A and B are shown apart, each in its own frame.
Chain A
Amino acid sequence: MDTNPHIPRAAIIRDRIQEAPTVFTLRLEPEGDTSVPFRFTPGQFNMVGVMGLGEVPLSIVSDPSDLDFFDHTVRIVGRVTGAMARMGPGDRVSIRGPFGNGWPMDATRGRDIVLVSGGLGCAPLVSVVNYVVRRREDFGALTVLHGVKNPRDLFWKERFSRLNGIGGTRVFLTSDTGGSGWEGAVGPVTNLIENISVTKKTTAKICGPEPMMIATVGKLLDQGLAEEDLWVSLERNMQCAAGFCGHCQLGEMFVCRSGPVFRYSEIKNRLGIRGL
């Protein structure tokens, strides 16, 4: 962390995209002192605040080489995200961050990347998709496995279908319930794992609800993927985002500082325990 976590700065909304009825993306441009450029790694998050209401932790979904702006994709779940949904270009939010450890991008250069996401859990992985697609020759095969509960929960449908086939990228979608007009598979996202072949070059990055991540990890390990090539992103209550307030603790870890992205082997003893 190289920015002061104890005071926010302002960011102006430059664009707002409605992704789904309750999901939208804000494109933000930092204001004020720009001598400290906003640099991040995919998988890191910001505390984004609405004056008078509070802050929420949001994953950064844009590409780190876009230096003039960054994007957050948000689902309306409470007061703060509800207020953000009503904001538009020219409005301001507060920003603290970026915080935490992101995905290992440099360290997985040249490898085949498998991304597995569930529900809104895809937000922290969208930045990885963007990153790999823009540096296509730096990486091997890219496979995206994405599951939603219900077909109406799927957003970025266009983006997913455009992505499919570009530079050998393969996208597999599934829905727990299926339904008329649904072209993807029906069933849990773990069923999609049969579509990939694990090699020594494979790295998997997983994000979603904890039971889904555990099931995914289990299947990938069965297929022969090594534990050290598995990465997960966790979600906890975040308030200070700098390892002081205690809310995000998972075992001995402050997820805001040691995560939210972890190598699976670092965190495996703390996963799957109810109420931890």
Chain B
Amino acid sequence: MTEESRGFLERERFRELFDRLLVRGYQTIAPVVRDGTIVYAEVSGPEDLPRGLRDLQTPGSYRLEAEESGRFFAWANGPQALKPLLFAPREILWETRRESDGALSFSSSSPSPRPLAVIGIRACDLSALALSDRHFGKGPFPDPGYALRRRDLFLVAVDCSHLADTCFCVSTGDGPEAQSGFDLALGELDSGFLVRSGSEKGRELLRELSLPPPESSMEEALKIQGDRARSSQTRRLPSRNLQNALASRPDHPHWNNLAARCLSCGNCTSVCPTCFCFSEREEPALDGCSSLHLREWDSCFTAGHSYIHPAPLRGETRFRYRQWLTHKLDYWHDQYGRSGCVGCGRCISWCPVGIDFTEDLPLLLGEADGH
């Protein structure tokens, strides 16, 4: 554990953080407004950030509106997590070539990513990143594409001050403040940022910025802000550990109620920062001499996901919804030592019919004959 350094970065000096990252050779990714949502994209400075905006999130709805404080991070998470930056939505795994004598050769397609700095990561997404590391980094042969993209990341986290109505990170133990896994973390006040380091890399950069130490009144203001955010959160999971609680109820009638609303569209798995399923397919060249083997994000809500001849194992929506939620909240404990849910609430906002499983869980955990 490296020692934590702290400093105060005035709002007017925010650009210096971007400049320092540029000097160190990083391509900088930060939140920007696109198509009415806040997503991660390459930026050149603070002017690209969604300053003076707030988000309104409710089940099945996401809207942006103007906000008065002029803060850079007066909003909760947009649809994207870090996931697409590391686990590419579409990725070539290898190319097969067939020589004239029929011999086959294979070349793997290794991405050569530029070192990436990401500004504005929330606590829930840092937890999701730690979980993805466990999944894609496991075994003697970790996922090569993920490992390459993961290697040179510089992570600048932001403590959440303005939670969305759909957030429930307090109950999962993941937010609203960044706890670990970052290089630098920012706590935003109207006057600027309280910056703290979480790694040696972060400490070095903080030293280069040569910031004045934060005043104790700022520390106090941030603490109050954090406590207020925490107590404003109303959604919650009934327990952090639902191991065996859902797997033991495969026939609970409430799965049918969920299935009656669920469109099996897979939006929840796309926006979920920990969903990791992908499918593989071939893309042959027209000349027949070569073929790309690639992978794309997949979802347990598709029919193909569980297909074995002659039919999908999970042909009905209730089986797919049950698989998704039971995996996320229950089986993850066996697989990776904790729940796969980090409380970001994206699956609630981005569900086209507004399914909110925090409301369904008490019903699923209740006695079957109780309703």
Q: Which residues of A contact B (CB under 8 A)?
A: 1-2, 4-10, 31, 49, 51-55, 77-78, 90-92, 94, 235-237, 239-240, 242-247, 249, 251-252, 254, 273-276
Contact = CB atoms under 8 A, between A and B. Distances in A.
Interface in B301-316: 304-310, 313-316
Contacts of B309: 77-78
A8 B277 CA distance: 21
9 contacts: A9-B106, A10-B103, A31-B104, A54-B281, A92-B98, A249-B327, A252-B334, A252-B335, A275-B313
- The 6 tightest CB contacts between A and B, nearest first, are A275-B319, A52-B284, A252-B334, A246-B277, A10-B104, A252-B331
Interface in B332-370: 333-335
A274 B306 CA distance: 12
Given A54-B282, A94-B106, A244-B135, A6 B277 contact: no
Contacts, number: 127
Interface stretch (B136-144, B149-157, B231-239): B136-144
Contacts of A77: 309-310
Nearest to B255: A275
B306 A247 contact: yes
Contact of A4 (B141, B284, B331): B141
Given A7-B94, A252-B335, A247 B103 contact: no
Nearest to B300: A246
B277 A275 contact: no
B282 A52 contact: yes
Contact of B141 (A6, A91, A92): A6
A49 B276 CA distance: 23
Given A51-B284, A54-B282, A235 B322 contact: no
Given A51-B291, A237-B307, A247 B279 contact: yes
B10 interface: no
Given A240-B280, A243-B139, A245-B278, A275 B335 contact: no
B233 to A, nearest CB: 29
A118 B280 CA distance: 29
B85 interface: no
Contacts of B108: 6-7
B288 A94 contact: no
B115 interface: no
B310 A5 contact: no
B247 interface: yes
A91 B104 CA distance: 10
Contacts of B250: 273, 276
B96 interface: yes
